[in-house]
Structures are given as structure tokens and as C-alpha cells.
Amino acid sequence: MFAIFIIAIPFLGIPVLFITIALFSLMLIHELGHAFVAQRLGYKAYRITIYPIVGLCFSEPPYSAYEAALIAWGGVTAQFLLFVPATTILILFGNSSVGSVNVLLVAFSYINACMIVMNLLPFAPFDGKQAWQLPIILLRAKWTMYQLKRKKILK
């Protein structure tokens, strides 16, 4: 994909290069988010592979659905950490006089937001399938604690 965009630069202009770099960066940041959370939970992250429209983080499988959900949220959380400053800059200062900077800001804000929403769709192969299990898992745990306290098994 990167090579195709490089070849297209003479026809479409240098912003295409910045779009390519931005999209690659967003996918890499997303996968690094998964790897970071997996490592924080004690799992080895073996590698990250970026394909033209999808990235993959390979790590040891988590022991629980709770940990799998946390790892799933790691990708979009990392993207969100790019979204906030880029959107803030656009809101506070508007467009830059440098076209390539504008392309990066738009990619890290608007395109990033679209990617976050897409990644959180609640079905496979998107992260949302596992990520949206987290609220359910937490509610079940809270309900279990309530029941144990109610039956005076726990104080």
C-alpha cells in the first residue's frame, strides 16, 4: 500500500504521502496499544503486523475474558490519545498554513475518529466484540458481590 501511494505522489501530490504515513501511524499506534496493555497484564507481545487495511498484534492468549476485553480496549485508547490533541489543535487554532500539517491533523482527528468507531463495532473481526464485554463482566462481578454481601458471605 505504501509503495502504491509513493508511486501516486506525482499524480496526486505530496499530501498523499502524508495520508499514507498518517494511516500507517494510526494502525501502528492502535496495535501498540494492544501490545502495551497485554504486556502490562503480564503477557508477551510477539509481533505487530500491518497490512493495507488491518493491523494485528500477536501476543500470548489472555487467561480471562476480562483481560481480553482490557487488551481490546488498549488499541482504541491509544488512538484516542492521538485524537484528543489533534482535535484540540484544530478547534483552538483552525487550519495551519502548511497543507501537510493539515492533512496530518485531519487524519489524527476525523479519520482517527472513524477508525475508532469502526474498531468498536460489536462483532468480529472488530475489537468491539471483546471490548464491549467489559461492562457486562463488571456488572456481573458487581452483582455477584452484592449477592454475597446480601447473604452475609462477605461483609
> Is 155 inside any structural domain?
no
Beta bridge partners of 50: 55
Domain range for 17 is 2-150
Which band of pLDDT confidence, cut at 50, 70 and 90, is reported for residue 97? confident
Which band of pLDDT confidence, cut at 50, 70 and 90, is reported for residue 22? confident
- How many whole angstroms separate alpha carbon 97 and alpha carbon 74? 34
- How many whole angstroms separate alpha carbon 110 and alpha carbon 102? 11
The per-residue pLDDT for range 114-144, each reduced to its tens digit, is 999 999 999 989 999 999 999 999 999 999 9
| CA dist 13 → 21, 76, 86, 147 (Å) | 14, 30, 23, 63
pLDDT, residue 102, reads 85
Q: Is the pTM of this model over 0.75?
A: yes
| 53: pLDDT strictly greater than 90 | no
Q: What's the structural domain count of the chain?
A: 1
